[in-house]
Amino acid sequence: MDNRAQIREFLATRRAKLTPEQAGLPAGSGRRRVPGLRREEVAVLAGVSTDWYVRLEKGHIVGVSDDVLEAVARALQLNDAERAHLFNLARAAKPAHAPRRPTKFALRPSVQRILDSMTTAGAFVHNGRLDILAINPLGRALYAPVFDNPAHRANIARFNFLDPSAEDFYPDWNATADTTVALLRTEAGRDPHNRELADLVGELATRSNAFRIRWGAHDVRTHRTGRKSFHHPVVGALDLDFDTMDLSGSTGERLTLTACTAEPDTASGDALALLASWAATHIDAAAEPSGRAHAG
């Protein structure tokens, strides 16, 4: 993943989304050849020269101060996730970076014990590539379709874009697909030299036109809390709240624990309880979810 190309395309797509009216500028006369702001308009809003901004949008970001990046972020009206992504791209552009080789995965046994103690929540741990690395029995039952095909290797993104059943599993598949790609794009900005991530993106872009189109949009987002809807093959409709917390692996990899719960005394609450009962007799969560060995 070329960092300079990422910078160029990210800034260009953000600029294209912002109209002169939204930026507080006069619309001007005549039709625009492309949507959104012109480069010179972004330069004016950021308080820099047009030549300087054009150079920045070409990917020349090394040495640019945080104050200038903040000014560009304000000019483009970036949200918190987009601003963080811009700063991640700037950090990644510094010299002395090389592709990061895969490291042996290790998850503390105590993390699995925490997951197993969450008996009324579907809970799992994933990395930035959306590999499910550990999961509790209810989580394994909830995400059972993700594990049905061993070729997906317990990767949520592969399931979402390469398995036709994903469109049945998610009532609003388009929104789920948008979120999936935005999370991978965010991770690519944070860790652009991750070879496994680059391989995953290349695989999905080659095999899925839906992924390829979304990847080109350069949308990013955070995913801390919200609601997920499922059409589960065993219990039917589920509307679940999700909350996340950051963990750290012994290799330094950024990990996330996600817990899905249902509001009490609702149809989804009853369905999740039924799924928990089903999981008690049908699911063996002791099996490794992604084929990676746990280390102590």
pLDDT for residue 193 is more than 50: yes
Residue of higher predicted confidence among 78 and 103 = 78
Co-location of 37 and 122 in the same domain: no
pLDDT digits (tens, 9 = 90+) for 259-268: 999 999 999 9
Pair 287, 139: CB distance under 8 Å: no
Average of per-residue pLDDT values in the chain? 89
For residue 19, CA distances in Å to 23, 31, 41, 256 come to 6, 13, 10, 36
Q: What is the pLDDT of residue 254?
A: 82
What pTM was computed for the model? 0.87
Is residue 100 included in any domain, yes or no? Answer: no
Q: What is the pLDDT of residue 81?
A: 95
Q: How many structural domains are present in the chain?
A: 2
Per-residue pLDDT band for 202 (boundaries 50, 70, 90) equals: very high
pLDDT for residue 93 is more than 50: yes
For residue 183, CA distances in Å to 171, 196, 245, 291 come to 20, 15, 15, 23
pLDDT for residue 223 is more than 80: yes
Q: What is the pLDDT of residue 176?
A: 97
Q: What is the pLDDT of residue 293?
A: 39
Is residue 161 included in any domain, yes or no? Answer: yes
pLDDT digits (tens, 9 = 90+) for 14-69: 999 999 999 998 866 456 777 799 999 999 999 999 999 999 999 988 889 999 99
For residue 27, CA distances in Å to 16, 20, 71, 122 come to 14, 5, 22, 50
CATH number at residue 212: 3.30.450.180
Co-location of 145 and 201 in the same domain: yes
Co-location of 56 and 183 in the same domain: no
Is residue 74 included in any domain, yes or no? Answer: yes
Last residue of a domain, one of 63, 92, 121: 92
* Cα maximum dimension of the chain: 69
Element (H, E) at 180: helix 173-190
Last residue of a domain, one of 92, 124, 147: 92
Is residue 18 included in any domain, yes or no? Answer: yes
Is residue 222 included in any domain, yes or no? Answer: yes
Co-location of 32 and 154 in the same domain: no
pLDDT for residue 187 is more than 90: yes
Range of the domain at 12: 3-92
Q: What is the pLDDT of residue 222?
A: 87
What residues contact residue 81 under an 8 Å CB cut-off, 6+ apart? 182, 186, 220, 221, 222
Mean pLDDT of 206-211: 98
Is residue 289 included in any domain, yes or no? Answer: no
CATH number at residue 21: 1.10.260.40
Co-location of 212 and 113 in the same domain: yes
Percentage above 70 pLDDT, the chain:
88
Is residue 154 included in any domain, yes or no? Answer: yes
Co-location of 225 and 157 in the same domain: yes
Q: What is the pLDDT of residue 94?
A: 77
Range of weakest confidence among 154-158, 220-224, 231-235: 220-224
